[in-house]
């Protein structure tokens, strides 16, 4: 029996896996329309339960050896059946996410993808309890995700990259005037990453990258050699005045990294090295520049200069919030923010990308719409007042546990895709300097990842500056997209400067849209002080535990 999207149930006559693949393509005609003009329709996805695995001669679980290999042996009887029926498998073989295909003939593609939950295809970190759901409920979860995001193509990380590519296909189909047959053009589609990978700049390369093979062994690159754009992990001791307050309130930015990608100009092609360039905030790239002169005690907020207590603020230029001490590599959004704060910048070197565009816009819009539609189904609409929004967010996941799984998967698709842009090799067989398999795809782009993270960090810092200038309140801790403030009340409305329901322009705004904030959690100031004293860590990052008060990992410098 096949449980389909929308509650449709089909009888499946197939008694072998090859006949199941044939039935899927010829009779069931499953699949999904293409997401963009030059793109291709999505291949059908079959999710095999344990009962289906038994019916078609597959094991219900993988052995330890098969788990390590990520597939069943090539000599398995089911693989032999497929081979006799002229079906092929991709290079990754028959694993939790298997692709079975025949070479395409013109525009006629014959490909079916399998997902096998009992083989750990649905990682619980990103799909929650989806693998334990009954077939009809699992079909609903994956169907909603497929309809609103795309048909899963593997992990949420892999699917995220596939979504980028599906929205900006590297080539387009053209019709042969003589034969009328569609074929893929050799020229790159404008706005795409193309079909060929491009090398990153040396400063953008993660440690161990082949471009760094000539560096001395055990050499540690500093900020002047390595681009280090990462999310915030910063905290400071509380002031005496803050210790007199009662609560620590955490705010979390919704879909922060997706919002950071929205409207961002990123490089599409190879980097070009330039020396002593004039900084251009619209030109994506990596810049070697000294920003140690930027003083947070006096910055521009809009057109006005404002005085702040810079000792209570993190630097916007480093993940740990430390003030730079000399030249360092930064992505374009970070250098542009230094200018925005009212300071001159003078890069000495840069790797810029003249071929550029808003490659991630449609990816962001697709994921934003999926997120908002699913949150609306869970009772959290985009037009709620601040008070109603906080009420709607209280226990929203319990209203429909299946849709809450979809929300988790959508968020994982955002973060996982950005992580894949700088994927590193795994396993003991890899040695520094060797070619990485990930480097063979056009979507291995650490510069794009760096730009998105830089812009996300800058967006948060801009809100913090606006809030501090207007209220005199400063954050106590920041972890990625979560920021913690001391307040007299337990609610965000006890310290966010709303007036007649309207937020501070450019500051924090409660709401479900990406870039707006929600209540992450509240703990007492006494809890924060006790935890820091217990672990002898006055700068312990309380944002890590603000949600439920549980301390899971402490690094006090020892």
3-class SS letters over 177-230? CCCCCEEECCCCCCCCCCCCCCCCCHHHCCCCCHHHCCCCCCCCCCCCCCCCCC
Residue 1 — very low, low, confident or very high, per pLDDT cuts 50/70/90? very high
Q: CA 118 to CA 148: how far, in whole Å? A: 25
Q: Is pLDDT at 228 greater than 60 in this prediction?
A: yes
Q: Is residue 508 part of a domain?
A: no
The rounded mean pLDDT for the chain is 92
Instruction: Tell me the sheet residues that pair with 266.
Output: 357
Using the predicted structure, report yes or no on whether residue 165 has a pLDDT greater than 60.
yes
Q: How far is Cα 318 from Cα 53, in angstroms, rounded to an integer?
A: 50
- Indicate whether 120 belongs to any domain: yes
Residue 500 lies in a domain: no
Stretch 455-475: mean pLDDT:
97
The model's confidence at residue 436, banded by pLDDT at 50, 70 and 90, is confident
pLDDT at 554 over 60: no
> Do the domain assignments include residue 172?
no
What total of structural domains would you count in the chain? 1
Q: Is residue 114 part of a domain?
A: yes
Can you tell me the mean pLDDT for 451-459? 98
**E runs forming strands in 196-340:** 233-235, 247-253, 266-267, 272-275, 285-290, 298-301, 304-307, 327-331
What pLDDT is attached to residue 108?
Answer: 67
Q: Convert 192-221 to b/e letters by CB count within 10 Å (16 or more is b).
A: bbbeeebebbbbbbeebbeebeebeeeeeb
Domain assignment present for 219: no
**Pairwise CA distance, residues 413 & 419, whole Å:** 10
Looking at residue 428, what is its pLDDT? 47
Could you give the CA distance from residue 345 to residue 334 in angstroms, rounded to a whole number?
Answer: 11
Q: What's the whole-number mean pLDDT along residues 201-205?
A: 96
pLDDT at 302 over 90: no
Alpha-carbon span 279 to 296, nearest angstrom: 21
409, containing H or E segment: helix 401-420
pLDDT of residue 558: 32
37, pLDDT greater than 80: no
pLDDT digits (tens, 9 = 90+) for 168-193: 998 866 555 554 445 555 667 888 99
Residue 128 lies in a domain: yes
Average pLDDT over residues 514-528: 97
> Does 489 fall in a domain?
no
Please tell me the predicted confidence (pLDDT) of residue 260: 98
| Predicted pLDDT of residue 557 | 37
Task: State pTM to two decimals.
Answer: 0.94
Segments forming the whole domain that contains residue 144: 2-152
Confidence of residue 433 (pLDDT cuts 50, 70, 90): low
State pLDDT tens for residues 375-423. 999 999 999 999 999 999 999 999 999 999 999 999 999 999 999 999 9
CA distances from 102 to 24, 73, 108 (A): 14, 20, 10
Q: 112-152, pLDDT tens digit by residue?
A: 999 999 999 999 999 999 999 999 999 999 999 999 999 99
Tens-digit pLDDT profile for residues 42-100: 899 999 999 999 999 999 999 999 999 999 999 999 999 999 999 999 999 999 999 99
Summarised one tens digit per residue, pLDDT across range 344-379 is 999 999 999 999 999 999 999 999 999 999 999 999
Write the CA distances from 460 to 67, 236, 314, 505, 532, integer angstroms.
41, 17, 11, 14, 25
């Amino acid at each position: 029996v096949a449980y389909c999207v929308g509650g449709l149930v089909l009888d499946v006559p197939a008694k072998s896996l090859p006949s199941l693949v044939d039935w899927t393509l010829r009779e069931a005609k499953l699949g999904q329309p293409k997401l963009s003009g030059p793109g291709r329709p999505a291949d059908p996805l079959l999710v095999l339960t344990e009962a289906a695995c038994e019916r078609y001669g597959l094991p219900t679980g993988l052995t330890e050896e098969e788990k390590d290999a990520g597939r069943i042996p090539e000599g398995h009887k089911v693989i032999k059946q497929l081979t006799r029926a002229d079906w092929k498998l991709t290079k990754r073989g028959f694993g939790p996410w298997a692709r079975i295909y025949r070479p395409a003939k013109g525009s006629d593609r014959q490909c079916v993808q399998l997902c096998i939950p009992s083989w750990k295809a649905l990682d619980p970190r990103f799909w929650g309890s989806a693998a334990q759901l009954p077939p009809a409920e699992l079909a609903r979860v994956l169907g909603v995700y497929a309809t609103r995001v795309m048909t899963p193509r593997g992990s949420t990380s892999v699917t995220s990259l596939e979504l980028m590519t599906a929205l900006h296909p590297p080539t387009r189909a053209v019709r042969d005037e003589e034969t009328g047959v569609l074929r893929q053009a050799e020229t790159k589609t404008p706005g795409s990453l193309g079909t060929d990978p491009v090398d990153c700049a040396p400063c953008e390369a993660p440690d161990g990258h082949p471009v760094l093979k000539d560096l001395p062994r055990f050499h540690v690159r500093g900020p002047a050699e390595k681009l280090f754009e990462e999310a915030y992990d910063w905290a400071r001791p509380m002031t005496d005045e803050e210790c007199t307050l009662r609560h620590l309130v955490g705010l979390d930015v919704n879909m922060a990294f997706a919002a950071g990608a929205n409207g961002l100009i990123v490089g599409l092609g190879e980097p070009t090295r330039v020396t002593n360039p004039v900084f251009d905030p619209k030109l994506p790239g990596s810049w070697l520049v000294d920003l140690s002169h930027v003083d947070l005690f006096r910055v521009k907020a809009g057109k006005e200069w404002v005085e702040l207590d810079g000792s209570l603020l993190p630097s916007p230029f480093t993940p740990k919030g430390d003030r730079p001490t000399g030249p360092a590599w930064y992505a374009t959004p970070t250098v542009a923010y230094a200018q925005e704060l009212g300071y001159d910048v003078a890069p000495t070197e840069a790797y810029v990308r003249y071929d550029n565009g808003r490659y991630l816009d449609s990816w962001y819009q697709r994921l934003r719409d999926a997120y908002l539609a699913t949150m609306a189904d869970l009772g959290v609409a985009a037009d709620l007042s601040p008070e109603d929004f906080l009420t709607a967010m209280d226990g929203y996941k319990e209203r429909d546990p299946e849709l809450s799984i979809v929300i988790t998967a959508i968020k994982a698709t955002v973060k996982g895709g950005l992580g894949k842009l700088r994927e590193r090799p795994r396993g003991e067989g890899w040695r520094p300097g060797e070619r990485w398999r990930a480097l063979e795809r056009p979507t291995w782009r650490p510069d794009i990842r760096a730009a998105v993270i830089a812009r996300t960090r800058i967006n948060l810092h801009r809100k913090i500056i606006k809030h501090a200038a207007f209220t005199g309140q400063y954050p106590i801790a920041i972890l990625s997209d979560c920021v913690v403030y001391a307040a007299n009340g337990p609610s965000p409305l006890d310290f966010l400067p709303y007036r007649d329901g309207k937020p501070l322009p450019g500051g924090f705004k409660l709401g479900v849209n990406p870039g707006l904030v929600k209540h992450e959690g509240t703990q007492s100031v006494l809890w924060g002080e006790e935890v820091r004293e217990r672990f002898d860590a006055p700068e312990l990052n309380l944002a890590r535990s603000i949600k439920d008060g549980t301390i899971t990992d402490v690094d006090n410098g020892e």
